Amino acid sequence: MKAVCIIPARGGSKRIFKKNLKDFLGKPIIAYSIENAKKSGIFSKIYVSSDNEEILEFAKSEGVIALKRPQSLSGDYVGTREVIIHCIRELKLEEVWICCLYATAPLLRVESLQNAFLQCDKSCYLFSAVEYSYSPYRAFVIKNTKNTMLFPEFFLKRSQDLDKIYHDAGQFYFAKSNIWQTKENIFEDSKSFVLSPFEVQDIDTLEDWKLAQMKYLFNHLNI
């Protein structure tokens, strides 16, 4: 059983200029996702969907298929699912597994991608998740210089007694092509594959970028 990998990578980036092609420890950050997709051995085809010619040319140079997306799917408020659906319809990908793999996932281990695919269920989405590093049950808001707990009922509970809470890690999403087209909510009857926090880093600011680089270097220490 094989899947198709789609790496969405638009050209515009407000907070980090040309983020998807920005050098990350020696090569463009998107190169890591392309390499992981290749090394995983689970994909029959690997596509990069972009509105940007430079990204599309880089994808070709890496030996994967470049798919030009329309400008209408390149704005700041266009969702990932809309891009994937465009690819499914443009490429006529019927009744196949589709993996959306983000271009900014340099920390992801190939083994995680492989093991996640083994746990896929044809009736729902499977996506990467990670545990919150500190329990949201301890969260509070500051209003008029005063602190107010969001969950005061947990004030006296020890942190180790609180339920673990997870969030979408934003690394990859697996689903059959029909699920992508019919189920808008990825949390509806979905499954998750939990990653180590060392495989996950939101990269929205330059500080995030530096943290991701530090994690990558730590992950590759020979200790």
Q: What is the pLDDT of residues 174-220, one digit of tens each?
A: 999 999 999 999 888 899 999 999 999 999 999 999 999 999 999 99
- The pLDDT of 82-101, averaged and rounded, is 96
What pTM, to 2 d.p., does this model score?
A: 0.93
- The answer to whether residue 159 scores a pLDDT higher than 80 is yes
Predicted pLDDT of residue 223: 57
Residue 203: the pLDDT is 95
Domains, the chain, with CATH or none: 3-129+167-219 (3.90.550.10)
The pLDDT of residue 165 is above 70: yes
Residue-by-residue DSSP string for the chain: --EEEEEE--S--SSSTTGGGSEETTEEHHHHHHHHHHHH--EEEEEEEES-HHHHHHHHHTTSEEEEPPGGG-STT--HHHHHHHHHHHHT--S-EEEEE-SS-TT--HHHHHHHHHT--TTS-EEEEEE-SS-GGG-EEEETTEEEES-GGGTTS-GGGSPP-EEEEEEEEEEEHHHHHH---TTTT-EEEEPPGGG----SSHHHHHHHHHHHHHHT---
pLDDT in tens, 5-47: 999 999 988 789 899 999 999 999 999 999 999 999 999 999 9
